[in-house]
């Protein structure tokens, strides 16, 4: 049985479903990885986005992130960070550490 779940998100809609699926997979003992691309990068500004804290790994497409002139997510209440990963791809994904 596979203990991993990868979710590719290209829309800023359906955050309720994303959170629900992620929480269910986490409760089932799965390691969840979410990759935000295209309009999906706007989910970082959704007030519910922080519900994913501690239950998954999130990466962002920096090309989409920067092409929308989107600012890095800010989390004033706790120390969190966004940094570039070292992947050798045509675009450089950003890793969001929650």
Could you give the CA distance from residue 44 to residue 19 in angstroms, rounded to a whole number?
Answer: 13
Which tops the pLDDT comparison, 82 or 71? 71
Any idea where the domains of the chain sit in the sequence? 4-97
22-39 mean pLDDT: 92
pLDDT higher than threshold 60 for residue 64: yes
Indicate the average pLDDT of the chain.
Answer: 76
Q: Are 53 and 38 in contact (CB under 8 A)?
A: no
For the stretch 1-26, pLDDT in tens is: 579 999 999 999 999 999 999 999 99
Burial of 17 (0-12, 13-18, 19+ CB in 10 A): exposed
Could you give the CA distance from residue 12 to residue 37 in angstroms, rounded to a whole number?
Answer: 10
Q: Report CA Rg, the chain.
A: 13
């Amino acid at each position: 049985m596979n203990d991993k779940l990868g979710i590719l998100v290209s829309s800023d809609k359906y955050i309720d479903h994303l959170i629900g699926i992620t929480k269910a997979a986490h409760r089932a003992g799965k390691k969840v990885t979410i990759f935000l691309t295209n309009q999906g990068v706007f989910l970082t500004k959704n007030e519910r986005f922080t519900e994913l804290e501690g239950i998954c790994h999130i990466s962002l497409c920096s090309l989409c992130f920067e092409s929308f002139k989107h600012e890095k997510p800010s989390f004033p209440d706790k120390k969190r960070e966004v940094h570039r990963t070292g992947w050798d791809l045509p675009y450089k994904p950003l890793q969001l550490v929650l």
